[in-house]
Amino acid sequence: MTDIEPRPVEVAPHDPNTVLSPAALDRLDRSIPDNTKTAYRRQARDFVAWCEEHGRDTLPASAQTLADYVSHLCDQDKAPSTIEQAIAVVRVAHREAGHDGQPDTRAALRILKTHKRDRAEAGKRKRKAPPVTLDVLRAMVDVADPATLAGRRDRVMLVLGFAMMARRSELAGLRIGDVTFTDDGLTILIRSSKTDQEAEGAEVNIPHGVHPDTDPVRVVRAWLDCLDATEGPLLRHINRWDQLQPGGMSGAAINERVRKLAIEAGVPNAVTFTAHGLRAGGPTEAAKAGQPVSFIADHGRWSKNSPQVLEYIRPVDKWRDNPMRGIGL
Tens digit of each residue's pLDDT (9 = 90 or more) over 24-37: 877 777 776 677 77
Comparing 40-54, 104-118, 142-156, 281-295, the range with the smallest average pLDDT is: 281-295
Better pLDDT: 36 or 264: 264
- Who's near 317: CB < 8 A, 6+ residues apart? 287
Every domain of the chain with CATH number 1.10.150.130 lies at: 16-121
Question: How large is the average pLDDT for residues 265-285?
Answer: 89
Q: How confident is the model at residue 126 (pLDDT cuts 50, 70, 90)?
A: low
The one-letter amino acid code at 68 reads D
End-to-end CA distance of the chain: 67
- Helix, strand, or coil (residue 328): coil
Distance, CA of 274 to CA of 257 (rounded, Å): 8
11: pLDDT strictly greater than 50:
no
Name the more confident of 68 and 125: 68
Give the pLDDT confidence score for residue 154 in this predicted structure: 95
What mean pLDDT, rounded, does the chain reach?
84
- Output 234 or 5, whichever has higher pLDDT: 234
Give the model's pLDDT for residue 264: 94
Give the closest residue to 138 by CA, choosing from 251, 219, 207: 219
Task: Tell me how far CA of residue 38 lies from CA of 34, 100, 221, in angstroms.
Answer: 6, 24, 35
The predicted structure's pLDDT at residue 9: 47
What pLDDT shows up at residue 193? 62
Task: Report yes or no on whether pTM surpasses 0.75.
Answer: no
- Looking at residue 233, the DSSP 8-state letter turns out to be B
Q: Which residue intervals of the chain bear CATH 1.10.443.10?
A: 134-320
- CATH of region 16-121: 1.10.150.130
Residue 1: pLDDT band (50, 70, 90) is: very low
Assess whether the previous peptide bond of 60 is cis (omega < 30° from 0).
yes
Angle at 210 between CA 204 and CA 216, to 5 degrees: 35
- Phi, psi of 175, deg, nearest 5: -110, 160
What percentage of residues in the chain have a pLDDT greater than 70?
85
Report which DSSP code applies to 329.
-
What pLDDT score was predicted for residue 64?
A: 92
Is the Cα torsion angle 300, 304, 308, 310 positive or negative in sign? Answer: positive
Query: At the top level of CATH, which class does the domain 134-320 belong to?
Result: mainly alpha
Distance from chain centroid for Cα 43: 18
pLDDT of residue 316: 72
Q: What is the pLDDT of residues 199-251, one digit of tens each?
A: 567 889 999 999 989 999 999 999 999 887 788 999 999 999 998 888 899 88
pLDDT at 67 over 90: yes
Of the ranges 99-103, 125-129, 201-205, 320-324, the best mean pLDDT one? 201-205
Report the 10 Å Cβ neighbour count for 159. 27
Distance CA 130, CA 312 (A): 10
Phi-psi map region of 129: left, alpha, beta (phi>0 left; psi -120 to 50 alpha): beta
Question: Which DSSP category does 238 fall into?
Answer: E
Mean pLDDT of 61-83: 91
CA 288 centroid distance within chain: 24
Say yes or no to pLDDT of 291 above 90.
no
Sign of the alpha-carbon torsion through 30, 191, 249, 160: negative
